[in-house]
Amino acid sequence: MSQASVRRKPNDQPALLDTELEHLPPELRWREWMGRTEAVIFAASEPVPREVLARVVGRNCNIDLIVDDIRAELAGRPYELVSVAGGWQHRTRKVFGDVIHAAFGAPAGQGTKELTQSEALVLMCIAYFQPITRGELSSFFGKEVSRDLIGVLRTQGLIASGPRSPLPGAPYTYVTTKNFLSQFGLDTLRQLPDFEALEDAGLLSKEKLLAGDTSLGFIGAQSDKSDIFSDD
Partner 1 sequence: MIRLDPATANLAPPTVPGWALETVGVPHDADAAFRAGAALASLDSLARAQPAWAGAWRQRLALKCAAASMRLAGRAENEAALRDAWQLCPAGADPGPAGAIFGAWRQLALQPPAVSTDRLAKVTETLGLAWDDEAFADLCKEIEEVAGSPRPAPFAAAAIAAHVVAIRPEAELLAWWLADLVLAQSLRWPRSVPLLIVQAFGPAFRIEGGGGKRIRPGEKGFEHAVCLALVQAAAEACRLATELSRRSEKLLAVTPKLRAKGAGDVIFLLLNEDAVPGSLTTKNLSRFAARRLFERLQQLEAVRELSGRPTFRLFGL
Under rule CB under 8 A, residue 171 binds partner 1: no
Q: Quick one: which segment of 25-33, 39-47, 93-101, 154-162 binds partner 1 (CB under 8 A)?
A: 154-162
Under rule CB under 8 A, residue 231 binds partner 1: yes
Q: For the packed helices 117-129 and 134-141, what is the interaxial angle rounded to 10 degrees?
A: 120
Q: Quick one: which segment of 31-39, 74-82, 97-105, 202-210 binds partner 1 (CB under 8 A)?
A: 202-210
Between 114 and 232, CB nearer to partner 1: 232
Under rule CB under 8 A, residue 214 binds partner 1: no
Separation of alpha carbons 190 and 205, rounded Å: 14
Separation of alpha carbons 157 and 20, rounded Å: 37
Question: Would you list the DSSP string of 75-97?
Answer: GGSSEEEEEETTEEEEEE-GGGH
In the shown chain, the binding pattern of residues 52 to 81 toward partner 1, with x for contact by CB under 8 A and - for none, equals: ----------xxx-----------------
Which of 28, 99, 103, 228 is in the footprint of partner 1 by CB under 8 A? Answer: 228
Separation of alpha carbons 222 and 20, rounded Å: 61
CB distance 84 to 185 below 8 Å = yes
Q: Quick one: which segment of 22-30, 100-108, 113-121, 184-192 binds partner 1 (CB under 8 A)?
A: 184-192
Under rule CB under 8 A, residue 188 binds partner 1: yes
In sign, the C-alpha dihedral spanning 54, 55, 60, 63 is negative
Under rule CB under 8 A, residue 12 binds partner 1: no
- Nearest-approach distance from CB 87 to partner 1, in angstroms: 11
**Nearest 5 degrees, angle CA 37-CA 41-CA 46?**
150
Under rule CB under 8 A, residue 179 binds partner 1: no
